Structure 1
Amino acid sequence: MANDAIDHQTALVGTWTSIPDAPSEQKPDHPSEGLYRLKVNSDGTLTPLDVIKMKSPSWIVKSRDGRFAYTTNEENSGAVTALSVDKSGQVQVLNSVDSHGQQPTHATISPDGKFLFVANYSVAKGGAGVSVFPIHQDGKLGEQVQQFPFEQGSGAVKGRQDGGHAHSTTFTQDGQFLYAADLGGDKLHAFRYHADKAQPLEADSARDVNFTAGSGPRHMVFTPDGKHAYVITEMAGEIAVFNVNQDRLEPAGRIKLNCENSSAEYRSGGGIILSPNGKYVIASNRGSDNKLLVFKIRADGMLGKPVSYSAKGIEPRAFSFDGSGKYLYVTNVFSNNISLFHFDPSNGELKAAGDAAKLATPTDIKFFN
């Protein structure tokens, strides 16, 4: 039965459609054409089916019922695309809207499914911030109803923090607050969520969290019980641990992703997720240290000593479990491969199982049943 469930899964893989100019980039034969649809085989490998042509669908967020998906089109003229996904895994584009910023890198849906919150990263100064879009009953996106510019950078890391850079948006477990990670400003911006209002976000600066200058907060996750939160920092290469008290984040500790080499090229925090059983935090480090780290969550919310694994690729940007929870997939952007790992939920152990697929500049992967 488990294999039947796996066989009926479809994977959507987001990409960059322009080839990055990076020293470690292994140039693909052809640039990506957009959003790729792949069949999940019983052994965890992926078979390409087709491609939905669009520009740089770098991040994918799925609706709670799996009927819809939304991609951030990470271009200078940022956009967000709404998609329908039917029971057979067929995908149709519903509509696309201006993201009202540059290089949108992340998005999240409110727990009630009413709104999409988009993080416009913006490499250049002036196009960063959070944009809010209503989600219609048919899955289409409405026009923007709110925008919060992130203008001020901390200036600690020249060229990276001259202005604000929104990198992700994450809801607290009770759905009452949204936190937006500002890599450029070394800050988490807090917003109270009002589901019944046309403009649902209200800035709550008393709950903002400031990081050490030069940290670069990137992505975050909350434990299933909502009592603890973990934020991965890109430039500091750390995980910041927080206790959550009435939706306020109270600092509880920091853990380095690389204890062996403290030089800047070995510090580049990437993605962070929880295991399906909520017992482990899985994070990536990039740069000259492309690896995954698995942390067991202790009873007090602190993280145990990590077990480190090679990411089996260059620049592990994002990673996801399939619907069975048995397989972990890692999108390695600069080596053009999706690496596959078997996951043991009893001890958090990962076992490398080669490439699930080869694909030009993969940036994210999500699964649909």
Structure 2
Amino acid sequence: MAEAAEHYQTALVGTWTSIPDAPAEQKPDRPSEGLYRLKVNSDGTLAPLDVIKMKSPSWIVKSRDGRFAYTTNEENNGTVTALSIDKSGQVRVLNVVDSHGQQPTHATISPDGKFLFVANYSVAKGGAGVSVFPIHSDGKLGEQVQHFPYENGSGGIKGRQDGGHAHATTFTPDGKYLYANDFGGDKLHAYRYHADKAQPLEADSARDVNFTPGSGPRHMVFAPDGKHAWVITELTSEIAVFRVNQDRLEPVAHVRLNTENSSAEYRSGGGIILSPDGKYVIASNRGSDNKLLVLKIGADGMPGKPASYRANGVEPRAFTFDGSGKYLYVTNVFSNNISLFHFNADTGELKAAGDAAKIPTPTDIKFFN
């Protein structure tokens, strides 16, 4: 009788394929070639398998059943790539569509799996906004069905907020609303989601949330029960805390991520996620800080005092738990490494375990199987 095939998790790592011009960067041996596929070893380290060649697949979003994935290709002429993932973890490109904007940085799938929502950041003024694509039953993306341009910036930080910059799209847990972080406009744009319509988003400006100019709302997470939400601001490096009341976000408080140094180079909020059990908020600060912050969530939704850990790399842009929830992986873009941490779900403590892998300019990581 033949032995059963070995089962293991695979990881997909997104990258920037052009070497960025950043003061803190450490030049990789050679530029990235695209989307890297790796095997997860029993100790949490990652072993390279192969690479799917494409331009700057900077963000990865997976379907709920893990059969499909979508990458935002963060180039001047932005695109989105649809992928199929088979049971063995093999990856195949299904199709590529125009993102209808520049530098798409983030995407999310509607809870019903019908649509993909893409945030076009656009460094230059005029290419920013949210684009909506139908997802076909075979995983392929259809042509764009809706587009919301973000033209106006708050002007809070000259050169960074002269125009709008869509940075992320996030659904409420009940699937009724989509929020889009407008980094340039210092705003969360609210949209009512209509699953049965060909154009599913309806702008609901009465539920928009305005931030103080110069904040730069970047990413967002909701509590699993939908009662609270947390937004990380890049330019002030804070977590804005919201209570959800009758489908509206009510501001509660702000939590600073760096309390030791208030200078601008130490303020650069990055990613924000929840621990697998939803009891902790985990965020990153970058710039001259390069830290991970773990905050226990109280019953009132307020994060406690941040526990601070070195990210063990430069520019911790994104981080994700593997399927077991025991390991946290951090993509450090400018030091070309993915750092590994053991996570204690009881205490929220992170224990550094060195590098999981060396990858040129890694920007995101997601796990399959």
Length-normalised TM-score, structure 2: 0.98
Q: 1:109-120 to 2 correspondence within 5 Å? A: 109-120=109-120
**Cα deviation 1:17-52 (Å, max 9, x = unaligned):** 000100100000100000000000000000000000
Write the letter of the residue equivalent to 1:154.
S
Number of residue pairs the alignment of both structures matches: 365
Matched with 1:69 is 69
Matched with 2:305 is 305
Query: How many percent identity over aligned positions?
Result: 85
Q: Is 1:7–1:39's contact at 8 Å kept on the other side of the alignment?
A: no
Q: Alignment partner of 2:277: what SS?
A: coil
Q: Alignment partner of 1:138: what SS?
A: coil
Matched with 2:343 is 343
Matched with 2:234 is 234
Q: Does 1:261 align with 2:231?
A: no
Q: Alignment partner of 2:232: what SS?
A: strand
Deviation of 1:249 (Å): 0.3
Matched with 1:145 is 145
Distance 2:231 2:148 in 1: 21
Q: CA distance change for structure 1 residues 356 and 7 in 2, over 3 Å: closer, same or farther?
A: farther
Distance 1:86 1:8 in 2: 13
Length-normalised TM-score, structure 1: 0.98
Q: Does 1:286 align with 2:282?
A: no
Distance 1:72 1:175 in 2: 22
**Cα deviation 1:232-265 (Å, max 9, x = unaligned):** 0000110000000122100000001101111100
Distance 2:260 2:322 in 1: 32
**Cα deviation 1:160-189 (Å, max 9, x = unaligned):** 000000000000011000000000000000
Question: Is there any run of 5+ residues in structure 1 with no aligned partner, and where?
Answer: none
Matched with 2:327 is 327
Distance 1:53 1:216 in 2: 32
Distance 1:338 1:109 in 2: 25
Distance 1:34 1:159 in 2: 29
Matched with 2:57 is 57
**Cα deviation 1:200-259 (Å, max 9, x = unaligned):** 000000000000110000000000110000000000110000000122100000001101
Q: 1:205-224 to 2 correspondence within 5 Å? A: 205-224=205-224
Matched with 2:277 is 277
Q: Does 1:366 align with 2:366?
A: yes
Distance 1:246 1:176 in 2: 12
Distance 1:7 1:222 in 2: 32
Matched with 2:196 is 196
Write the letter of the residue equivalent to 2:201.
L
Q: Is 1:119–1:130's contact at 8 Å kept on the other side of the alignment?
A: yes
Matched with 1:25 is 25
Matched with 1:245 is 245
Deviation of 1:141 (Å): 0.1
Q: Is 1:236–1:268's contact at 8 Å kept on the other side of the alignment?
A: yes
Q: Alignment partner of 2:265: what SS?
A: helix
Distance 2:202 2:278 in 1: 30
Q: Alignment partner of 1:206: what SS?
A: helix
Q: Is 1:7–1:42's contact at 8 Å kept on the other side of the alignment?
A: no
Runs of 4+ that moved beyond 4 A:
none
Question: Is there any run of 5+ residues in structure 2 with no aligned partner, and where?
Answer: none
Distance 1:228 1:173 in 2: 10
**Cα deviation 1:71-104 (Å, max 9, x = unaligned):** 0000000000000000100000000000000000
**Cα deviation 1:266-295 (Å, max 9, x = unaligned):** 000000000001000000000000000000
Q: Is 1:84–1:94's contact at 8 Å kept on the other side of the alignment?
A: yes
Deviation of 1:156 (Å): 1.0
Deviation of 1:7 (Å): 5.8
Distance 2:74 2:353 in 1: 30
Write the letter of the residue equivalent to 1:78.
G
Distance 1:133 1:181 in 2: 18
**Cα deviation 1:90-149 (Å, max 9, x = unaligned):** 000000000000000000000000000000000000000000000000000000000000
Q: CA distance change for structure 1 residues 307 and 7 in 2, over 3 Å: closer, same or farther?
A: farther
Distance 2:7 2:16 in 1: 27
Distance 2:77 2:110 in 1: 24
Q: Alignment partner of 1:220: what SS?
A: strand
Give RMSD over aligned pairs: 0.9
- Bigger Cα displacement from structure 2, 242-251 vs 139-148: 242-251
Q: Alignment partner of 1:133: what SS?
A: strand
Q: 1:27-106 to 2 correspondence within 5 Å? A: 27-106=27-106
